[in-house]
Copies of this chain bind each other. A is one copy, B any other.
Amino acid sequence: MNAPVNKEVVKQKIAESGLVNVGKGSIREVLKLVSEIQSASGVQFIRMEMGVPGLPCSSIGLDAEIEALKKGVASAYPPMEGIFPLKQETSRFLKLFADANFSPSGCIPTVGSMQGGMAAIMVINRLISGKDTTLFIDPGFPVQKLQVKSLGLGLEAFDIYNFRGDKLREKLESYLQKGNISSILYSNPNNPSWVCLTDHELQIIGELANKYDVVIIEDLAYFGMDFRQNIEVPGEPPYQPTVRKYTENCIALVSGSKVFSYAGQRLGMMAITDSLFSRRSDNLLKYFGTDEFGHAIIYGALYALSAGTAHSAQYAMAAMLKATNDGILKFIENVREYGVRAHLMKKVFTDNGFYIVYDKDEDKPLGDGFYFTINYPGFTGCELMEELLYYGISAVTLDITGSEKQGLRACSSMFNPNQVDELNRRLKLFNEHHSIEKDTK
């Protein structure tokens, strides 16, 4: 029995894409390629390549946004530092669900967390002369590295796989001792591997931030989505783990896209501690016309980047955060579905000869969430990605995430649980074809 997608169609579309190696294509490029193969072949793909929210958003946000539009906010510039209710509710949110202290004045809306990361990278790398390099704890979201490169700044990175727990300290120090590192960036839970840093690891990172005077950029895009523990009760443990507990040298990024399913409106929040906000440095003056860090972020970077973020969407986000803080909106409950899907999908993959690449947090098995990582024995990530296209399954390789492991990142968000039999059928076929291949080699 043949693979479900016509080989010639796939080959032709790959050729047309201009990608020399499809496995090295960016997430958006893969998305485009898969859409074209899908429409040319007529086969409905099981799409796991893009981390898009697959759930509808809450009506609380939508209603607030529509009301704000009706009140006329569309014609007035939003304040550069963000509307006050949004700043206040973000501060409350971080206290209630992460036990983290950030003043409302340090909580600033951005055009998606993406812009928050960009602004942070722009300013932190100019804070101290000579410290112009960001260290990434990989694997990671490729666009954050694109940000650093596009700015012409320095970049270092290592794969955390072999450096969990106490080993993390020595590894980090080997970079920090060089003196050129301004900042450490990671996402937690991690995109793409769904690794979650333990409290012990966060303590190590926080202590080193203090010791070496580097700023931690903590991307909490998947806030609370480590479903192994339920952080949803406001003001009560357990909390979303954060490095803020161990250092004031940090910026947290919260996304409206994932946990609030509000990706379309491009709204994230960056939170800066008071001590970092008020920090001064002459080096900032040259680039941003001010020597104060917080002022450089708002009236330097964010002003230059876009002069604020859509006015009405700020009201949506403020309303969703308020309802969450007040215990009315169950923000985790609404996305727990992703964990259910990942659990189903992982089982089908492992039943058919695949294995999970990143499988443990120190000694505990990984949770089921938005992403997971897979590979098939004997394949590189690039080979597997292309081969799965013939079976109507799409994902991105770990190659583009800074991982040293071979394999793919799969996202559970677009998977419909009623596709589970079809996924099983396709993977079974894949497994049959490739076990035979292996036997005859």
Q: Taking beta carbons and an 8 Å cutoff, which residues of A are in contact with B? A: 26, 28-29, 52-53, 55-57, 61-62, 65-66, 69-70, 72-78, 80, 110-112, 114-115, 118, 122, 143, 146-147, 149-152, 257, 261-267, 286-289, 299-301, 303-313, 316
Instruction: Let me know if B287 and A115 touch, CB within 8 A.
Output: no
Supposing A69-B62, A303-B28 touch, asked if A308 and B266 sit within 8 A by C-beta, the answer is: yes
* A20 CB to nearest B CB, Å: 12
> Assembly of this chain: how many copies?
2
B residues less than 8 Å from A299 (CB atoms): 26, 28-29
B residues less than 8 Å from A311 (CB atoms): 264-266
Instruction: Let me know if B266 and A146 touch, CB within 8 A.
Output: no
Instruction: Let me know if B305 and A265 touch, CB within 8 A.
Output: no
Instruction: Let me know if B264 and A312 touch, CB within 8 A.
Output: yes
Contact of A304 among B80, B146, B286, B289 (CB under 8 A): B146
Instruction: Let me know if A305 and B143 touch, CB within 8 A.
Output: no
A-B contact pairs, 24 of them (CB 8 A): A26-B289, A52-B77, A56-B72, A62-B70, A65-B69, A65-B312, A66-B70, A74-B264, A76-B264, A77-B263, A111-B111, A111-B266, A112-B306, A114-B304, A114-B305, A114-B307, A115-B305, A115-B306, A146-B304, A150-B287, A264-B312, A265-B312, A266-B307, A266-B308
Chain A contact residues: helix, strand, loop or mixed: helix
Give the residue name and chain of the B residue nearest to A50 (CB): B77
Give the residue name and chain of the B residue nearest to A257 (CB): B77
